[in-house]
Amino acid sequence: MASYSVIGGTSSEDLAKKIASKLKSKFIKCELRVFPDGESKITLKGTPKGKVIVVQSIYPPVDSNLVRALALVSQARKHSSQVFVVIPYMGYARQDRAFLPGEVITMSLVAKMFKAAGASKIIVVDIHSMIALDHLQIPAKNVSAIGELVKYFKKLKLKDPLVVSPDKGGIERARNFAKLLGVDFIALDKHRDRKTGEVTIRSTDHHEVRGRDVILVDDMISTGGSIVKAAQFLKKQKCGKIYASCTHALLIADAEKKIKKAGVTRIVSTNTIPCKTNIVDISPVIVKALD
């Protein structure tokens, strides 16, 4: 294993410590000061040596965490010609193409900024769209947290479990999850209005869920609208317990409360985003991706 220094951005300090520990590498903490006008001032509490890994998730406040990530990359580049950037949750990945006339493809700009800052390689976890990954103009790798999430669910005593994708777009994710868990899967027919954001489930009947524990699988849970609609539909089909599994739990505002109210027993997420539900550690898959 190569010699690394691991810089832990303020949005991913605990995950960065786990990565540094597994690599037996130096961990460098960041000190953050936010001025009254909102500007961020970052100070590294150590000097990077060898290959440098910057770990910084870009979750809300997205713009602040993005600028901090770019600042850390730029500083790391002063000490090393090889700067690996681990972005567990890549903000702006959903803005990877124009759906309506005049929409800006912000992911394209984000990609250019990381290249300009001096990143050598970027590692992301379960990016929302591979099209977003294609925008990056430097070597990039997307790693999956599905294997680690499945390990968690294998420890639970579930009743005839069934994996469910809240929409057709996530069918491949559900298929992979179900295959590793050794169970069946289905995908619901979800529709989201591009202008209002309103979610509806167009599926009519799924009798195969009756009496079975269900694992709703998604890449991220933001406002929770998709999970809530899916859970309400599955409850009407008289399923057993409902679990919501995702890599990235943004859980904006009262999303967690809404999801629980809809009948979800437990939300299980990874530590790409620090929160109460981040039960699963994804540092092992990130470390493997560094080889």
Contact 256, 231 (CB under 8 A): no
> Which entry of 179, 190, 195, 276 is annotated as an active-site residue?
190
* Alpha helical stretches, state H, 78-145: 106-117, 130-135
Question: What's the rounded Cα separation, in Å, for the pair 153 and 158?
Answer: 8
Residue of 130, 112, 124 lying closest to 87 (CA atoms): 124
Question: What's the rounded Cα separation, in Å, for the pair 217 and 234?
Answer: 13
Tokens of 144: 């999956």
Contact 261, 282 (CB under 8 A): no
CA dihedral 92, 98, 102, 107 (to 10 degrees): 30
SS3 276: coil
End-to-end CA separation in angstroms for the chain = 7
Residue 261 annotated to the active site: no
Residue of 150, 187, 94, 183 lying closest to 268 (CA atoms): 150
Active site residues: 190
